Structure formats: C-alpha cells, structure tokens
Structure 1
Amino acid sequence: MRKAWISAVALLGVMLGPAGVAAAQQQNPWVVIEQWESAGYQVNIDRIGNAPIGECVVTGVRNPQQVVEEVLVVDRDRHHRRDFDVIDVVVHQSISVSLDCTG
C-alpha cells in the first residue's frame, strides 16, 4: 500500500510541477482528466466558456485532497503469535482541473 501511495505522490509532483502543468496545458483536456482518473482521483472540473471540453485549454490542476482512514490489520508472525499493524488506506481522493472553454 505504501508503494501505491508513494507512486501517487510522485505522480502528483510531476503533474503539479511547472513542467507538468505546462505539459498539461498543451494536452487535450480529456487526456489530463483521464490521467488523474486512472491514478484513482475523482476529477472536479471548473470551466469558463461553453465550448466542448475537447476544444478547451487546461489552465490549472490544483487542490489535491485525500481522505485517509487508519485500518487495523491482524496477522500472525512465523511463531503463530498475533501481529498487529495499523496502516493508512486512502478511501477517497479528488483534484480540480480548471478549463478555459471560451474558444
């Protein structure tokens, strides 16, 4: 689970870094939205204008939110003694994508 969390943070760093935002602005908005959704995010879109989304320009990717819940995991060690661990599980994550659809 920690590997998935680290991967998500690394992806977030790439996407939110200056080069990531510049690259996102040059991509089709559907591609940017799909990238975040495939990373497990619920994407909230805010836009100005009424052009179809495919004709819009991505002006920002911001406000990543994660809801994490601690879960108790009970296991047995090699001596058959109970082993208790608490791990963080992401139960919901969302991000906002801003679009300029004025044409």
Structure 2
Amino acid sequence: MRPITVTAGLLAAALLAVPPPQAAADQTALETIGMLEAQGYTVNVDRIGSAPLEQCTVTGIRNPQRVTRWVNVEDDGWGTHGNGDSELVEIVVSQSISVSLDCNR
C-alpha cells in the first residue's frame, strides 16, 4: 500500500471522528454561530422565543453532518514513486451543524 493511501485514510478517519464543537460559556449566540461558520460549517439554527440573536443563549450544538466524496488524484511523476499512478482520496464537500437557541427574554 502506498504511503499516500495510508495517510489519506488516517486523515479521513480522524476528520470523521471529531466530536461536535462546544460553545464556550462566555460566548454569545452570534459568536458561537460565527465560530462554527469560520470552521466551515453551514449552521442551522432552531430557536425558542422571538428575542434578537444578540439576546439569545446557546442551549445546544448537535448533529454535525459531513458530506464527502472520493476523488481521483493523479501522480504527476514528480512524487516519490513517479510512475503516473493515481490514488482515491476522500474530500469533504460540505458540513452542517445545528445550534439550538433560547431567545425568551
């Protein structure tokens, strides 16, 4: 087995085993949502109440979903093997997460 295959497999397994992020106690709802978006998540918000987001508190972060696909990566001949082979590598296409807010103020 080529080293790139092992490395790609270990990286994919590590990415899929990452637990969902947790909001810090001192973060506002907007900061938490911004942090998750900065990490590449599409954030789905469900809320109780009608207060503005600035007045909401995060009650839960859950259900991280990751969509991946396999792509064929060609060896350009400059690598260690230099034989023009190709490898299948799993890449993340999209990831989403749900944030629950309490907006009763």
Q: TM-score, normalised on structure 2?
A: 0.76
CA shift in 2, pair 1:79/1:41, >3 Å: closer
Aligned amino acid, residue 94 of structure 1: S
How far apart are 1:93 and its partner, in Å?
0.4
For the residues of structure 2 that align with 1:68 and 1:52, how far apart are their CA atoms? 34
Corresponding residue SS for 1:13: coil
Structure whose residues are more often strand by fraction:
1
Gaps of 5+ in 1: none
For the residues of structure 2 that align with 1:72 and 1:14, how far apart are their CA atoms? 29
State the number of aligned residues.
95
CA shift in 2, pair 1:52/1:35, >3 Å: same
How far apart are 1:89 and its partner, in Å?
0.7
Aligned amino acid, residue 47 of structure 2: R
* Equivalent pair of 1:59/1:99 in contact (CA under 8 Å): yes
Structure 2 match to 1:40? 40
Moved over 4 A (4+): 2-6
Q: TM-score, normalised on structure 1?
A: 0.77
CA shift in 2, pair 1:26/1:64, >3 Å: same
Measured against aligned partners, the alpha-carbon deviations of 1:68-89 in whole angstroms (never above 9, x if no partner) come to: 0000001124564112111111
Measured against aligned partners, the alpha-carbon deviations of 1:34-91 in whole angstroms (never above 9, x if no partner) come to: 1110000000000010000010010000000000000000112456411211111100
Structure 2 match to 1:90? 92
Gaps of 5+ in 2: 1-7
Structure 2 match to 1:62? 62
Matches for 1:1-103 after TM superposition, within 5 Å = 6=14, 13=19, 15=21, 20-21=22-23, 23=24, 25-75=25-75, 76=77, 77-78=79-80, 80-103=82-105
CA shift in 2, pair 1:64/1:45, >3 Å: same
Aligned amino acid, residue 87 of structure 2: D
